[in-house]
Amino acid sequence: MRADDTRNPQISKSDHSATMDHAQILIVEVWVPLPFRTPLSYLFDPALAPDGAAPRRGARVVVSVNNRRLVGIVDRTSQATAQNDCSRLRPVETVLDTIPLLAEQTLDLMLWTARYYCSAAGELLQLALPPALRTSSRLQQSREWLTVRYWRLGRAPTEEASGQLQGRKQRELLTALQTAPAHQIEHGHLRSLGFGKAQFTALETAGLIEEVIMDELAMEAAKGEEEPQAASDGPPAGHTLNNEQKATVEAIVSSDGKFAAFLLDGLTGSGKTEVYLAALDRLIAEGRQALILVPEISLTPQLTARFEKRFPGLVCVYHSGLTDKQRLLAWNDIRLKKKPVVVGTRSAIFLSFTQLALVVVDEEHDSSFKQQDNCRFNARDLAVVRASNQSCPVVLGSATPSLESLQNAESGRYQLLRLRHRTAAFARPQIELVNIRSRKLTGGLSDPAARAILDTLQARRQVLVFLNRRGYAPALFCQSCGWIAGCSRCDSRMTLHRHDASLRCHHCDLRLRLPTNCPECTSGSLVPLGSGTEHAEEALQALVGDDIPVIRVDRDTIGSTSALHDKLELVKAGEPCVLLGTQMLAKGHDFPDLTLAVILDADGALFSGDLRASERAMQLLTQVCGRVGRGEHAGRVLVQTRLPSHPLIAQLLAQDYRQFALNELELRRQLAMPPYSSMAVIRAEAASEAHLQQGLALLASQLKTVMTQQHLGDGVTVHGPFPAVLARKKNRHHGLLWLIASKRATLRSLITGLMSQPASPDRPRSRALQLPGRTGRHQPFSWSLDIDPYETL
Ligand code: ADP
Ligand code: ZN
Ligand code: ZN
């Protein structure tokens, strides 16, 4: 950074050489939201600041980088010494926060995360802030949103003033404030309780109450002891726990105040959520908070509702589906410890908690905990790191635990807690296969499945039909010449969508009008091949008649959270209906009247070269089976397959996920694959195949160099280059390398070594600060690193 910018005359070189007082000048290290590996240094002269206070660690500052004004986060300040060449540094332009917005623990966790996943800390840090606080252009707005009006008791309310109160509502308002913590209540909350201007004015005139306006951004979280959290009348109690549940809760609670990781392995419906609730009940108190990470809140409103019911007024929900204002307010409530129970999606792991009592990761196997772009962190793993840093227990719960967590439990790193029985109301569903190899299907539906659906509806129960493929048909085929509609930009087929007569590429979103004639041979004999949810919906509606609703849930029908909510409400109402959808339906829903599930195409999940293909397929199918029979009536699952003797189908039938997982783990151990080794994937993309091959070859040879230099020997293997699943996507060519090491430290050395290699033989890495290998659309060749990848292809 050069200091010859005329906009900042106070730090111009001549000025400084005259006035430089090293004892006064501070050097502030700031993380800016750009792909740098280190913070940037700026100057701060307390003498020139209005209040003279140096920015604290975790506070936001405005700085400029290449003439762009950015909001950065302060990492450190230190006294400038004679060794610092201050003349080259620009000043901090504005200090936005006198109170740091990020707790020390949060900042440390994020810096650790950036290092572990080899990504840019400055960019990652943005995730710790709600969008409204990330840019300087929104300063005004965010301040307004965070200005809160309270009413509190007047300084010296006299007996006679209160005796003279006229109305019942006036007395109620006074009582409410007298019994409230700190004798104050938010204006908005009072209004929602039915108090209005009439009461406020009357009491204010009598000197009984006064209004307080607070800038909450400038507030620091109260210390735990000063702010009692538990509701005074006590939350409603849950179910009486069964013995297994009790033992589980005891194990968790006995680790209060210290780190312990638990894997809670329990069938769907075995009462895991009830265990979380009971543990929370015992652990949250005295300004402590608990974090419950869930895969996707919008898909499971019922789960959130259960927390809210049990802890009324104490639950805060944080996810990206909120508006910017809602997100800011929720974020702030959490920072100020106003809400002890926080339910959130993966980025909630970076919220500013100071005193955590418990971390829960529900459905811990779910892939949505792994971020798939930029910093590819896994919130499930960070939950364990965070719990360890903050000395509290962490519970990873699932009916279908990830192999990583199971292995951690097997090796004793995590304590295994099992709930082996479904609660009284639940029975195991009965699973049957329907071999569809030589059967005629209508919209993907076989006759036995159709009959079972009609029988179920006849008995006035509900049906779930699962098909993990949206659109009308996965391909369009010409019967005369064999042409199949393919995407011009990707190596993929186009999906037929009938409702708007389009062909769409599900990989790059290219949309074309549905052709009436074959573009190759001009014949009019184009036919759809296979079935997606749109086709299944048509067939199901024809099957069940117009009086029974067929409710389709996939990305094409669910534009918004509220649309999904409305559809699910319809199912909850309990009338006979058919719920049809993709994997959105496999996640944690609880519908007591669902008694039949039909899996239209179990085989779709079985074929993939991905490391986790079987694991994922088994989890998905098991979760779908777990949706039925959650009420009084036993459930039944029909699995349509062309491969009835496939081992995975046999294991699904046996309903023994644990046995499946142990077998699969043994296989991974024999192949020395994760979780028995550490893995990183290098994903590369290039403008042409030649660029791709050239770039990957260079990377491979650099890796070899590092391995030789550092004597990494047998400790690490480089596999590849391989083509990606879609070798061509959006006209870019994709390929990858696998790095597999027996020890995490070896992998780390290899990666660190690679990072210090030149970007290309003729072009040394230009800026030492810049992280290498970020995927860039426009570069001829670029690459990125995925540490502990979830998807490996
Ligand atoms: P999971 O989270 O494992 O799917 P839940 O906690 O949702 O299981 O429990 C499944 C159902 O059983 C819920 O309707 C819940 O209210 C009920 N339930 C849980 N524990 C008990 C219990 N000890 N006694 C009676 N009902 C229970
Ligand atoms: Zn043709
Ligand atoms: Zn495409």
The set of residues, in sequence order, having a beta carbon less than 8 Å from that of 327 and lying 6+ positions away, is 130, 131, 132, 318, 320
Nearest in space to 5 (alpha carbons), one of 49, 47, 62, 67? 67
Tell me the percentage of the chain whose pLDDT exceeds 70.
90
Q: What is the largest CA-CA distance in the chain?
A: 96
The pLDDT tens digits of the residues spanning 46-76 come to: 877 767 788 999 999 999 998 899 999 999 9
pLDDT of 20 reads 52
Ligand 1: centre distance to CA 350 (Å)? 30
Q: Is the CB of 239 under 6 A from ligand 1?
A: yes
The reply to whether the predicted model has a pTM over 0.85 is: yes
**Predicted confidence band of residue 178 (pLDDT cuts 50, 70, 90):** confident
Cβ–ligand 1 contact at 423 (below 6 Å): yes
Instruction: Specify the pLDDT at position 159.
Output: 63
Residue to substitute in 274, 587, 589 for testing ligand 1 pocket (most ligand atoms within 8 angstroms of CB)? 274
Tell how far CA 555 is from the center of its chain.
Answer: 18
Q: How far is the CA of 245 from the centre of ligand 1 (A)?
A: 10
**Residue 161 — pLDDT band, cuts 50, 70, 90?**
low
Measure 424 CA to ligand 1 centroid, in angstroms.
9
724 CA distance to ligand 3 middle (Å):
14
Q: Which atom of ligand 1 is nearest to the CA of 240?
A: 23
Residues with CB under 5 A from ligand 3 (ion): 487, 489-490, 505, 507-508, 510
Does the pLDDT at position 15 exceed 50? Answer: no
In the reported structure, the alpha carbon of residue 547 is separated from the centroid of ligand 1 by a whole-number distance in angstroms of 33
Which tokens belong to 543? 């099957």
Dist. CA 518 → ligand 2 center (Å): 5
Cα–Cα–Cα angle for 305, 306, 310, nearest 5°? Answer: 115
Q: Is the CB of 241 under 6 A from ligand 1?
A: yes
Q: What is the pLDDT of residue 606?
A: 79
**Measured distance CA(737)–CA(333) in Å, rounded:** 44
270 lines ligand 1 (CB under 6 A): yes
- CA-proximal residue: ligand 1, atom 18 (nearest): 271
Spacing, Cα 544 to ligand 2 middle (Å): 36
Choosing from 423, 627, 632 the residue with most ligand 1 atoms within 8 A of its CB, the one to mutate for a pocket test is 423
Q: What average pLDDT is seen over the chain?
A: 87
In short, whether 268's Cβ falls inside 6 Å of ligand 1 is yes
The alpha-carbon radius of gyration of the chain (Å, integer) is: 30
Q: Is 272 touching ligand 1 by the criterion CB < 6 Å?
A: yes
Q: Does residue 697 carry a pLDDT above 90?
A: yes
Tens-place pLDDT, residues 733-792: 999 999 999 999 999 999 989 888 876 655 444 443 455 555 456 778 888 899 999 998
Is pLDDT above 50 for 382?
A: yes
Q: Give the per-residue pLDDT at 156.
A: 65
Q: Is the pLDDT score of 185 beyond 80? A: yes
Mean pLDDT of 666-680: 95
Ligand that comes closest to the CA of residue 278:
1
Q: Are 345 and 299 in contact (CB under 8 A)?
A: no
Q: How far is the CA of 288 from the centre of ligand 1 (A)?
A: 26
Query: How far, in Å, from the CA of 476 to the mean position of ligand 2?
Result: 11
Task: Measure Cα distances from 522 to 20, 479, 513, 528, 549 in Å.
Answer: 80, 11, 16, 16, 39
Residue 94 in contact with ligand 1 by CB distance below 6 A: no
Of all protein residues, whose CA lies closest to atom 4 belonging to ligand 1?
A: 269
Which tops the pLDDT comparison, 780 or 532?
A: 532
How far apart (Å, rounded) are the C-alpha atoms in residues 62 and 404? Answer: 42
Predicted confidence band of residue 227 (pLDDT cuts 50, 70, 90): very low
Residue 245 CB less than 6 A away from ligand 1: yes
**Distance (Å, rounded) from C-alpha 449 to C-alpha 583?**
19
- What was the pLDDT predicted at 189? 86
What does the pLDDT look like over 277-334, one tens digit per residue?
A: 999 999 987 679 999 999 987 767 778 889 999 999 899 999 988 899 999 999 999 9
Nearest CA to ligand 1 atom 11: 269
Rounded Cα–Cα distance for residues 662 and 403 (Å): 8
Any atom of ligand 1 within 6 Å of the Cβ of 623: no
Report the distance separating Cα 133 and Cα 145, nearest Å: 11
Nearest alpha carbon, ligand 1 atom 23:
241
Closest C-alpha to 725, from 605, 554, 609, 559:
609
Task: Assess whether the C-beta atom of 269 lies below 6 angstroms from ligand 1.
Answer: yes
User: For residues 793 and 788, what is the distance between their CA atoms, to the nearest angstrom?
Assistant: 13
CA of 608 to the centre of ligand 2 (A): 30
CA of 489 to the centre of ligand 2 (A): 21
Confidence of residue 24 (pLDDT cuts 50, 70, 90): confident
Q: Is the pLDDT of residue 228 over 50?
A: no
Ligand (nearest to CA of 480): 2
Cα–Cα separations (whole angstroms), residue 788 to 110, 402, 660, 739, 791 = 17, 13, 22, 10, 9
Residue 728 CA to ligand 3 centre (angstroms):
9
Q: What is the pLDDT of residue 290?
A: 97
Q: Residues 365-375: pLDDT tens digits?
A: 999 999 988 88
Is 50 exceeded by the pLDDT of residue 425? yes
- Cβ of 274 closer than 6 Å to ligand 1, yes or no, is yes
| Per-residue pLDDT tens over the stretch 594-622 | 999 999 998 887 777 788 999 999 999 99
Q: Does ligand 1 come within 6 angstroms of the Cβ of 742?
A: no
Using the predicted structure, report yes or no on whether residue 231 has a pLDDT greater than 50.
no
For 392-412, write each residue's pLDDT tens digit.
Answer: 999 999 999 999 999 999 999
Alpha carbon of 422 to ligand 1 centroid (Å): 8
Residue nearest to atom 14 of ligand 1 (CA): 269
| pLDDT-based confidence at residue 36 (cuts at 50, 70, 90) | confident
Q: How far apart are CA 338 and CA 330, in angstroms?
A: 9
